[in-house]
Every structure is written in C-alpha cells, then in structure tokens.
Amino acid sequence: MRRMDKLRAMQTFVAIVDQGSLSAAARALDSSLPAVVRTLAALETSLEVRLLNRTTRRIALTEEGRTYLDTCRQILSELHEAEARLAARHEAPSGTLVVTAPVLFGQMHVAPAVYRFLRAYPNVKCRLLLNDRVVNLWEEGIDVGIRISPLDDSTLVAQGIGAIRRVVVASPACIAEQGEVAHPRELLGKNCILSHGGGYGQWRFWEGGREFVVPVDGNLEISHGMTAVEACANGMGYGCFLSYQVAQAMDEGRLVRVLKDYEGPARPVNIVYPHARLLPSRTRAFVEWMKRELPEVATRWR
C-alpha cells in the first residue's frame, strides 16, 4: 500500500470507529460502502493484524485495533496542526494580543520591542500589562508572558531566551572613597543603597555551593529600581540590582560589578504561553519577534 493510500486508510479506519459502522463511515467520508470495506481490508492485510471484529450488526475494536487507533489519531492530529500552521503563515497577523511582563523589565525592554512589533504588524492591537505578580495566563486571558524565574506551571509552553543575575555594583568614585570589597562580609560597615530590587537590607550570596545572607545598611533607601541605580551610579553607595537594570551603566563605565564570584545562580528569562497548538498568527509572530529581540538583553548573564 502506498504512503498516501496508507494515510487515507488511517482516516477511513478512524471514521469507522467514530461513526460506529462501515456504512456510516462511507457517508461521512462521501465514499461508497464497497470502497470503505476494501480500504479496511487492505489496511489490515498490510499490517498483518485484525483491527476490528465485525458482524452484520456491530463492530468492535480488537486489542491491536485500540493501540493502532491511538496512533492514527495522533498522526492525523499532528498532520492537521501542521497544515493549520502553514496556512497561518500566509495570513497577515491581526486581532488583539495580550502580553504581560515584570514592570521594570517591561518598561526597559519589552515595551520598546512591542512598539517595533506593532509598526511591523499594524493590524495587531496589543494590551501590555506590566506587573510584578505572577499572573495565571489561562484565567486572565493573556496570550504571552515574559517570566524571570523558574517556571512552576508545567502546563505552559516556555521558550528560554536567556538569563539574568542579581549583581552588586558601585561607581568608581564610591569604590575609591569606601574601598574595594573582596568578600560579601566586607560590605558590613559600607554605605549601601537599600532598594526593593536588592532585597533592602538582606543581600544574598553563594559560596561553596551554599547560600548565605549579609545584612547591609546605609543612609539612602529608594523604592524605585532605576532611581536606585542612578543613585548608585552617582556614588551614593554600593547597590544590589538585577543585571539588566545596570547593564547600560556598566557598559558606560558608570558602574563596576563587584563580588562576581559570590553571585547566586542565574535566573532564566522565558517567553511563555498557554499552549502550542493552533496558535493565532499574531501570537506566533510575536513569540518569534521577541525571541529575536530579547536575547541581546539576557544572554550575557548566563
């Protein structure tokens, strides 16, 4: 039996089971009863196994038939999805896309990438939700999320695009004034900027595969991340931030990374969405867009 005939035979076999009889399958397939009978017989001959026990009144799956039915359903489903994906590629993305991301990362990197995406796909509308809580994509009707953390929800499809770290930095002027630090405990007695991103007065480090905490203090506490970064770059003290927040200031030489050997494990950055099957063209296009746009931000901190 040729490959295309085998595919048709699998469709016929599934139709017989679903419709409950050969004659009903013939009607569903817009075929004749003799053609359906011949196709089933040829399929069983090629497989050298009986798939159905049939009488004039009923049909029943054999044990081998039940196993083969599952395989047929999977193959036909994957074929349908592949055809749908190809068809979607020819459609211009349109409709409303709902995206969520952490506030600061969203402001700095996701939002500019969204602007560029909308210029490229003007028929798409985007709702960008920036918040620092972990939202349930299913329950809140969100198409795509950007997550910075290990994923707890195994039902989400995740595509890794990089990683970030929590780093300690200081300006060259601060280091010259307060002195260099070779070990995290040397931060005791140093003027440190207390901020939400750094965990306020409890900075976490790793040594010998174990985590430990160093209590820090200083004369400046700031609730907003980028304001704290600017204070640090202006020499107000040592600061602890997520790496993407200080990358530009480090590139400009305004901040220096210290205590690198004591940093904790990198945190993965993922693009997540509820399911992979039959994604709308706008969602598929956006995921591919962000996979090109965001790695430049995240890959340097693996």
| pLDDT the model gives residue 138 | 80
Helix (H, G, I), strand (E, B) or coil at 168: strand
In a domain, 26, yes or no: yes
Helix (H, G, I), strand (E, B) or coil at 259: coil
Contacts of 58 (CB under 8 A, 6+ apart): 21
| pLDDT the model gives residue 132 | 85
| pLDDT the model gives residue 196 | 77
CATH classification at residue 101:
3.40.190.10
| pLDDT the model gives residue 297 | 66
CA distance 299 to 302: 6
Contacts of 87 (CB under 8 A, 6+ apart): none
- Within this chain, do residues 74 and 211 fall inside the same structural domain, yes or no? no
| pLDDT the model gives residue 251 | 93
Average pLDDT per consecutive 10 residues, the chain (302 residues; last block may be shorter): 74 92 91 92 91 83 92 88 70 89 92 95 95 84 88 77 92 94 94 82 92 95 91 96 92 96 91 78 91 75 62
Partners of 129 in the β-ladder: 100
Of 62, 87, 112, which residue constitutes the final position of a domain?
87
In a domain, 182, yes or no: yes
- Within this chain, do residues 176 and 257 fall inside the same structural domain, yes or no? yes
- Within this chain, do residues 175 and 257 fall inside the same structural domain, yes or no? yes
- Within this chain, do residues 206 and 221 fall inside the same structural domain, yes or no? yes
Of 87, 109, 129, which residue constitutes the final position of a domain?
87
CA nearest neighbour of 65 among 120, 141, 14, 112: 14
Whether residue 166 contacts residue 257, with contact meaning beta carbons closer than 8 Å, is answered with: no
Helix (H, G, I), strand (E, B) or coil at 72: helix
CA distances from 216 to 65, 92, 137, 208, 262 (A): 68, 54, 37, 21, 16
In a domain, 1, yes or no: no
- Within this chain, do residues 242 and 288 fall inside the same structural domain, yes or no? no
| pLDDT the model gives residue 219 | 94
- The alpha-carbon radius of gyration of the chain (Å, integer) is 29
- Within this chain, do residues 61 and 134 fall inside the same structural domain, yes or no? no
Give the position of tokens 């195994």. 154
Quote the pTM value: 0.65
- Which long-range contacts (C-beta less than 8 Å, at least 24 apart) are formed by 177-180? 177/235, 178/237, 178/238, 180/258
- Within this chain, do residues 217 and 155 fall inside the same structural domain, yes or no? no
- Within this chain, do residues 192 and 234 fall inside the same structural domain, yes or no? yes
CA distance 287 to 157: 11
Helix (H, G, I), strand (E, B) or coil at 235: coil
| pLDDT the model gives residue 223 | 87
Total tally of structural domains belonging to the chain:
3
- Within this chain, do residues 116 and 193 fall inside the same structural domain, yes or no? no
Structural domain span for residue 171: 166-262
| pLDDT the model gives residue 276 | 63
In a domain, 244, yes or no: yes
- Within this chain, do residues 170 and 253 fall inside the same structural domain, yes or no? yes
| pLDDT the model gives residue 236 | 96
Of 52, 71, 87, which residue constitutes the final position of a domain?
87
| Angle at the Cα of 109 from the Cα atoms of 175 and 273, rounded to 5 degrees | 130
- Within this chain, do residues 83 and 14 fall inside the same structural domain, yes or no? yes
CATH classification at residue 216:
3.40.190.290
In a domain, 302, yes or no: no
- Within this chain, do residues 293 and 170 fall inside the same structural domain, yes or no? no
HSE-CB of 161 using CA atoms within 13 angstroms: 22
Joined together, the tokens standing for residue 111 give: 């939002």
